Chain A
Amino acid sequence: MTPSLGSLAVRVRALSMRARAWLTVALLALLTLGMAYVLVAIGRPSPSAPGQPTDIPSLTLSRAEFCQRPGLGDVPPDEGCGWKTVELAKLWKGPSEHGLADAWFRLRFRLDSVPARPLAMYLVAFNRTGRLFVNGGLLRDLGAMQEPLPLNWNRSQYAVIPPAMLRAGDNEIVMQERAYGWDLGWLAPVRLGSQEELRPVFQRRVFWQNDLVRLLGACTGAVGVFMLGVWLGRRRDTMYFWFGCVSLLWTAFSLDYYALSPPLPAWVWERFIESAPVLRGVLMFMFVLRYCGLHRPVIEAVSWLYFLVGATAIFGGFMPTETIDLWYLVVLGASAYFFFLQTLVGLRRSLLEGMMLAVAGMVQMVLSGYDLWLYSANTWTDRVYLAHFSAPLYLFVVGTILIRRFTESHNAYEKLAAVLEHRVSAKAAELERNYEQLIEARRNEALALERTRIMSEMHDGIGSQLTMALSLVRRMDREADPAHNGEDGRVATVLRESIEDLQLIIDSLEPVENDLLTVLGTLRYRLQDRLGKGGIELQWNVVDLPPLPMLTPHSVLSILRIVQEAFANALKHSGATRIAVTTGLKGEPGIDETAHIGIVDNGHGIQPRQGAGRGMENMRRRASALGGRLMVTSHAGRTEVLLEFPTLRSPP
C-alpha cells in the first residue's frame, strides 16, 4: 500500500460509523454510475477509428439468403436449395429433434476494388458451430463440426479474409451453421471492415463476455469453497452452506459464458442452464432467510416446489419457451422482496452492511432485468449480457459481510475466552485464598479449643491449688508472726512467682491479634497494682504498630518475659520513680524491618550483681531466639533496655 493510500485508510478508519456508511453509499453509487456507463458504452457501436484504409468499407450485413436442406453436407448448396431472403438475426430449427441439423446463409456485398489488405469479418453471435466459404472457397471452420458441438452461443468470432479470396464487384460469403436438432440455430448481423476497426471491437467483447466472466467465476468458486469449509466446521450455521451453494452454482453457471465443452452432455447442460436462474433464486432465498434469522418453512417449501415443477417441465421437454420467461420473472420479483428483507436486517445490524446489501441487490435486480429483456427480445446486436457482473458483486458483498462476521465472532470468542480465563484464574485464586483462610480458621479454632482446655486445667487445677497454697502460706506466716508486715515470706514468694509465671504463659496464649501494643498493654495491666504500690509512674510513650504476624504465642511469651524482667529490674533494684515504655519500627518491610521496645527508668543504673546478671543473660538469649538483640545502656539516672527484633513482614 502506498503511503497516501495508507494515510487514507487511517483517515477512513478514524471516521465515525455513520460517516463511513455514507462514504460507502457514495462509493457504491459511483460504482453503479460506472456500471451504467459501461452498459451504455458496450451497447454503442464503436466509432470508426481514424486513419483506417479508405479502400475497405465498413459494412453491417443485416440481410441474408437462407436455406435448409435435409441431411448434413460439407459443400454449399446450389440454387435448387430454395434460398430465400431473411432479416438477421435469423433463428432456425432443424426438422428433427434428434441428431444434428444444418442451415445455410448466403451474404452478399460489393467491393469497388480488391483491397490491398485483408478484410476483417466480425460475427457477433451465432449458434452453435459453423464453416465459412468466401466466393466458393473454404475460409475456415468456426469450431468442431462433429458431436459434441462446441458451446459457441455466446462466443463471437473474428475472421480475416485475405485479399486473394476477394474480387472487385459482387462478393459472396456462405456460412454453414450446424446445431442440435432439439436446439435453435441463429445468426446475428455480420460486420465487415478493416482489421483496425473490428479487431478491438471483437477483443473488447471477448474480454467482457468471456474472459472477465471466467475470472469472476473463479472468484465466486473460491468464495463458495471457503463458505462450505466454514459450514463444515460449524454445521449449525446453515447460512454458510446455502451461501456456498449459491456461489458454486454461480461458478457452474458462468461456465456457459466461456467453456467450449461443458462438463455435461449438451442437452442436459442446456436444461441445467435454463433451470439455473430459478435454482439460484431459491438457494438465495434459503440463504437470505437464514441471514435474517427467519424460520419460514412454508416459503421454503413453496420455493423448492416452484423450482422442482419448473425444472421437471424443462427436463421433461414440455416447458413452452414463452413460459420460461414467466418462470424467471416470478423469481425475479421474489428476489426483489428478499433483497429488501435482507437490506432491512442488514440495516439493523449496521448502516454500512445494510447499504452495501441494498446497492448490491439493486444492481443485481436491474442487470438481471436487463438480461431478461435482452434474451427475450432477441436483439442481436453486440450488446453484452450483464447479470453475471452484478451477481459477483452481490456475492462479494455478502461474502465480505459473512467473513467479517465470522472473524468478528471469532475475535469476540477469543476475547470472551480471555475474560473467562481471567475470571476462572481469579476464582481459583479466591478459592485457594478461601481454602487457606478455612485452614487457618480451623487451625485457630483447634488452637483456641486446646487453649481453653489448658486454661481450664490451669485455672481449676494447678492455678487454684497454687493460689490456695499461697493463701495458706500467707495465713501461716501471719499466724506465726502477728507483727507480720505483709511482705511475703520465702515460700510465699516462690508460690507467687510460680503463679505469675503461669499468668505470663496464659497471657501469651491470649488472642492478641498480632498487636504488639496489646501484648505490652496486658503486661502493664498485670503490673499496674505493683507499680502503683511502688509509687512508680509509668509513661506509656508508645506508637501504634501495624499487625505483626510473627507475634505467635511463642514469640509473645519471649517478649513478655524480656519486658517483665526489665520491669522487675527497674522495680526491685533501681529505685526508679518513673518508667517509660516506647515502641517503634525501623527499616523496610520485606527487607530489614525491625520493631523495637524500649524500657527506660530513672533509677541509679544496673549494678553488676549476680541475679541481675543472670536475668540479663536470659533476656539476651530470648532476644536472639526472636532473631533480634537486646541493648542495655545504663548509667546513673537513666537505664534503657532496648529490644529489637525483625518483624518478618512482607512488603505491602
Chain B
Amino acid sequence: MPETVELPQETPTRILVVDDDDAFRETVCAAIARDDALVLAGQVSNAEGAREAIAHGEFDVALIDLGLPDGNGIDLIREIASTRPETDVMVVTVFGDEAHVLASIEAGATGYLLKRSLNDTLGATVRELRAGGSPISPVIARQLLHRFKKDAPAPSQPAVIDDGGLSEREREVLLFIAKGFTVGEIANMLHLSAHTVATHVKHIYRKLAVHSRTEAVFEAGRMGLL
C-alpha cells in the first residue's frame, strides 16, 4: 500500500520534464494537467535545453531521463544538485534497476519513477518525493548498506552522523527496507512516525549524494553509464 504523507499544499509543485521521447512527454504533461497539485514548469527534449532551464527556469521538481541524445542525465542531476539544492530530482527509468538508480542517487536524485506506471503514480510519487524521498527498493537499500559499510569510520562510533557514515537509526531503516518492509511497517516496529522514517530515507539519499560527490571518480563510470 502506498505511504501517503500529507503535506500542506498551498502552491502547486512546478515540474520540469526532460525526455527525448515525445509520447512520454505528452503522457507526463497529461498526467500533470490532471493533477491540481502539479503544474508544468517546462519540457525539453535534450540536455542543452535542460541546461538552459536549470540556469533560468523556475521549478521545484525535475523529471529526468538518463539517456538523452546530446548528453547524460547523470550530469544534469549533478548540476541541479549542486546549483539548486532545494530542487528535487526524479529519474525516469524503465526498470528501476540497481545500477541506474544508485548512480542517480549518488548524483543527487532523491527519487525515481518507472516509466510505464507513471500515469497512475506521478502525483503520489511527487508528493512522497517532496515529503522525504521516493521509497527505496530492497536491492537498493542493501547496496546502500554495503556502500556505507565499506567506508564506515569505525564500528566503535555507531551513532555518529557525518557526511560519510549512516546513523544507527538510518542503518536500521535501510536493513528493514532490504528485508522487504514498507516505511509504514518500519515506523510501527521502531515506534516512530511515518514522517520520521521518510525523513531518515531523505537523509540517506542526501548522505549518499554528499558522500559520492567527495569521491573523485563517480561510481556511474564504474557502472558503464557515462
Listed in ascending order, the chain A residues whose CB lies under 8 Å from chain B are 449, 451-453, 455-456, 458-460, 463-464, 467-468, 470-472, 474-475, 496, 499, 502-503, 506-507, 510-513, 515, 517-518, 520-522, 524-525, 528-529, 531-533, 537-538, 540, 542, 544
Can you name 8 A-B pairs with beta carbons within 8 Å?
A458-B94, A464-B21, A471-B27, A521-B177, A525-B135, A529-B2, A529-B120, A540-B185
Q: Mark B169-211, 1 if CB is under 8 A from A, else 0.
A: 0000000011111100100000000000000000000000000
- Decide if the interface of chain B is mainly helix, strand, loop or mixed: helix
Cα A464 to Cα B116 with chains together (Å): 10
> Which of A474, A518, A522, A544 is within 8 Å of B119, CB to CB?
A474
Q: A510 with B97: in contact, given A456-B224, A464-B67 (CB under 8 Å)?
A: yes
Asked whether B116 lies within 8 Å of A470 as measured between CB atoms, the reply is yes
Give residues of chain B (148-166) contacting chain A, Cβ–Cβ below 8 Å.
none
- Contacts A475-B26, A475-B27, A531-B1 supplied; 20 other A-B pairs, CB < 8 Å: A452-B99, A452-B224, A456-B225, A459-B100, A460-B67, A470-B116, A471-B115, A506-B95, A511-B98, A513-B142, A515-B178, A517-B180, A518-B178, A521-B137, A522-B138, A522-B180, A524-B138, A525-B135, A529-B117, A529-B121
**Inter-chain contacts of B67 with A (CB < 8 A):** 459-460, 464
Closest A residue by C-beta to B135: A525
Asked whether B1 lies within 8 Å of A467 as measured between CB atoms, the reply is no
Does B143 interact with chain A (Cβ within 8 Å)?
A: yes
Asked whether A544 lies within 8 Å of B179 as measured between CB atoms, the reply is yes
- The 6 closest A-B CB pairs, nearest first, are A521-B180, A521-B138, A463-B94, A517-B179, A510-B139, A532-B1
Cα A460 to Cα B69 with chains together (Å): 11
**Size range of the chain B interface in the assembly:** 35 or more
Closest A residue by C-beta to B175: A544
Closest A residue by C-beta to B138: A521
Does B93 interact with chain A (Cβ within 8 Å)?
A: yes
> Which of A456, A458, A517 is within 8 Å of B138, CB to CB?
A517
**Inter-chain contacts of B27 with A (CB < 8 A):** 471, 474-475
Asked whether B116 lies within 8 Å of A467 as measured between CB atoms, the reply is yes
> Which of B93, B120, B138 is within 8 Å of A525, CB to CB?
B138
**Inter-chain contacts of B121 with A (CB < 8 A):** 529
**Inter-chain contacts of A496 with B (CB < 8 A):** 116
Min C-beta distance of A165 to chain B, whole Å = 110
Cα A544 to Cα B178 with chains together (Å): 11
**Inter-chain contacts of A453 with B (CB < 8 A):** 224
Min C-beta distance of A404 to chain B, whole Å = 51
Does B23 interact with chain A (Cβ within 8 Å)?
A: yes
**Inter-chain contacts of A540 with B (CB < 8 A):** 180-182, 185
Does B223 interact with chain A (Cβ within 8 Å)?
A: yes
Q: A528 with B99: in contact, given A453-B224, A510-B139, A521-B179 (CB under 8 Å)?
A: no
> Which of A451, A467, A512 is within 8 Å of B139, CB to CB?
A512
**Inter-chain contacts of B115 with A (CB < 8 A):** 467, 471
Asked whether A528 lies within 8 Å of B1 as measured between CB atoms, the reply is yes
> Which of B94, B137, B179, B223 is within 8 Å of A467, CB to CB?
B94
Most chain B CB within 10 A, of A451, A507, A538, A544, is at: A507
Q: A518 with B142: in contact, given A452-B224, A525-B135 (CB under 8 Å)?
A: yes
**Inter-chain contacts of A455 with B (CB < 8 A):** 95, 97, 99-100
Cα A532 to Cα B180 with chains together (Å): 16
> Which of B24, B95, B143 is within 8 Å of A459, CB to CB?
B95
**Inter-chain contacts of A542 with B (CB < 8 A):** 179-180
Q: A459 with B93: in contact, given A518-B138, A522-B139, A542-B179 (CB under 8 Å)?
A: yes
Closest B residue by C-beta to A496: B116
Most chain A CB within 10 A, of B98, B135, B178, is at: B98
Closest A residue by C-beta to B22: A468
Most chain B CB within 10 A, of A467, A472, A475, A502, is at: A467
Asked whether A538 lies within 8 Å of B24 as measured between CB atoms, the reply is no
